[in-house]
Amino acid sequence: MKNIVILISGRGSNMEAVVRALDAEGWPARIAAVISNKPEAKGLEFARARGIPTAVVANKEYATRAEFDAALQETIDRFEPDLVVLAGFMRILTAPFVEHYAGRMLNIHPSLLPLYPGLGTHQQAIDAGDREHGATVHFVTAELDHGPIVAQARVPVLPGDTEDTLSARLLVEEHKLYPYAVRLFVEDRLEIDNGDVRILAPAEPTSI
């Protein structure tokens, strides 16, 4: 049984998608906690209503990034995570924090990485005249929105798209992509090899 700690900053719809998939599909995992850097994050309400332990480590209360990350790490580690899932966690993380969770921290980013790291990804795709946009789940490394890619989902960019219409179309796919990727981790099917992710075949069911 793997312990998953999910970090959010806001709405938490990707967190919700992971929680629902875990429950519906009976993964060998439990959500040990949902932690936010914002006390007002909407997603905390969903987690509390499901009886999932929640915690807030408010970045506003810390003078430096290093102090905040240290406090966050201490809170996360109380829940003994096998996996940390960043689900709309809008913080730049320090290298020691990232290093501490090397190979066991995933992020979802709303672009087809390596395109458009950072913010404003939907508008950037529209402005560039891209015909396709997407989302990426990747292992977190010290460089922002980089790291070995687990999986990507793609949507078309349609004529007349705005940031709102495009992000809404993509979010539907994010809600399938993230549970898919987290499940692969839970089932020990992800291997990082020289910066690339290999997806292993499912374990054969044992027969008698």
Which residues are designated catalytic? 109
Each residue 151-180 as x (binds ligand GAR by CB under 6 A) or -, in order, gives --------------------x--x------
Residue the block writes with tokens 């709102």: 164
Cβ–Cβ under 8 Å, residues 111 and 174? no
Which residue type sits at 137?
Answer: V
Q: Which is nearer to ligand GAR, 16 or 29 (CB)?
A: 16
Strand partners, 3: 30
DSSP one-letter string for 58-73: -GGG-SSHHHHHHHHH
Each residue 43-82 as x (binds ligand GAR by CB under 6 A) or -, in order, gives ----------------------------------------
Tell which one of 2, 3, 11, 30 touches ligand GAR (CB under 6 A): 11
How far apart CA 135 and CA 21 sit, in angstroms, is: 18
Q: H or E segment at 4?
A: strand 2-8
Q: Which is nearer to ligand GAR, 95 or 200 (CB)?
A: 95
In the three-class reduction of DSSP (H, G, I as helix; E, B as strand; rest coil), residue 52 is classed as coil
Q: Which is nearer to ligand GAR, 13 or 59 (CB)?
A: 13
Tell which one of 6, 12, 18, 150 touches ligand GAR (CB under 6 A): 12
- Residue 204 Cβ vs ligand GAR, minimum distance, rounded to whole Å: 34
Using CA atoms, how far residue 141 sits from 59, 97, 196, in Å, is 21, 10, 13
Q: Which is nearer to ligand GAR, 168 or 200 (CB)?
A: 168
Each residue 98-137 as x (binds ligand GAR by CB under 6 A) or -, in order, gives ----------xxx------------------------x--
How far apart CA 24 and CA 47 sit, in angstroms, is: 16
Binding of ligand GAR by 33 (CB under 6 A): no
Cβ–Cβ under 8 Å, residues 114 and 36? no
Give me 153's structure tokens. Answer: 């989902």
* Binding interface with ligand GAR (CB under 6 A): 8, 10-14, 87-88, 108-110, 135, 171, 174
